[in-house]
């Protein structure tokens, strides 16, 4: 167990705390912005390309996974949501035939550690995000590159937009 934690510490995912053990490393706003930017650079054009190239049968095989995501969202089961979401996105990217691309995205997702997912659920937006997976599959099967681009852009935006906890409105100075 300790060896596994030391490996995670080398990757920057946990910090060693002397005489205490380990704690999960916090993800800074800057890091999250960088991870999201890289994911957008990789995932959006790759998914748009899949609208032209992906085998419709392979795409259809992802529908049960997309439905699992929706079911998990409706039930508020964040663990099932995360597991199905990861299978869906990595499975979709795997259709591009580039194992390294899949591994890079897996690593970025792990590093972001689902920032704010609980806030998304608490705001009642988890189901809408889940349903985007079905919308994406429909657009891919229709070979609608414009719709695929729009859905992927909106969906990745959850990492920095919807998934981020809402910020309080700045207070205005009282009238004098």
91 SS3 class: helix
Task: Confirm if 155 and 28 have CB atoms less than 8 A apart.
Answer: no
Q: What local confidence, expressed as pLDDT, does residue 40 receive?
A: 94
Residue 172: its pLDDT value, please? 43
Query: Can you name the residues that pair with 17 across neighbouring β-strands?
Result: 21
User: Concatenated DSSP letters for 11-50?
Assistant: TTSEEEETTTEEEEPPPPHHHHHHHHHHHHHHHHHHHHHH
pTM above 0.85, yes or no: no
CATH architecture of the domain with residue range 27-160? Up-down Bundle (1.20)
Q: What is the pLDDT of residue 162?
A: 45
Which segments of the chain have a pLDDT < 50? 162-176
Upper half-sphere CA count for residue 131 (Cβ side, 13 Å): 6
pLDDT for res 157: 83
Percent of residues in the chain assigned helix, strand, coil, to nearest 5: 70, 5, 25
CA distance 124 to 115: 16
Tell me the per-residue pLDDT of 104-141, one tens digit each, with 9 for 90 and over. 999 888 877 656 565 566 667 788 889 999 999 999 99
pLDDT at 13: 54
Distance from the Cα of residue 70 to its chain's centroid: 14
User: What's the pLDDT score for residue 30?
Assistant: 87
Return d(Cα 118, Cα 139) in angstroms, integer. 28
Contact yes or no for 98/42 (Cβ under 8 A): no
Map tokens 């998990």 to a residue: 72
């Amino acid at each position: 167990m300790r060896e596994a934690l030391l490996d995670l510490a080398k990757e920057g995912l946990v910090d060693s705390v002397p005489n205490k053990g380990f704690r999960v490393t916090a993800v800074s706003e800057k890091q999250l912005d960088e991870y999201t930017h890289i994911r957008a650079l990789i995932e959006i054009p790759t998914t748009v390309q899949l609208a032209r190239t992906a085998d419709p049968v392979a795409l259809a095989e992802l529908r049960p996974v997309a439905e699992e995501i929706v079911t998990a969202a409706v039930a508020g089961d964040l663990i099932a949501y995360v597991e199905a979401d990861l299978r869906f996105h990595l499975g979709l990217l795997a259709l591009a035939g580039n194992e390294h691309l899949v591994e890079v995205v897996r690593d970025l997702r792990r590093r972001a550690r689902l920032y704010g997912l609980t806030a998304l659920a608490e705001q009642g937006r988890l189901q809408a995000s889940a349903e985007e997976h079905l919308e994406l599959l429909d657009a891919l099967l229709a070979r609608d590159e414009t719709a695929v681009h729009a859905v992927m852009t909106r969906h990745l935006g959850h990492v920095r937009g919807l998934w981020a906890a809402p910020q309080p409105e700045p207070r205005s100075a009282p009238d004098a």
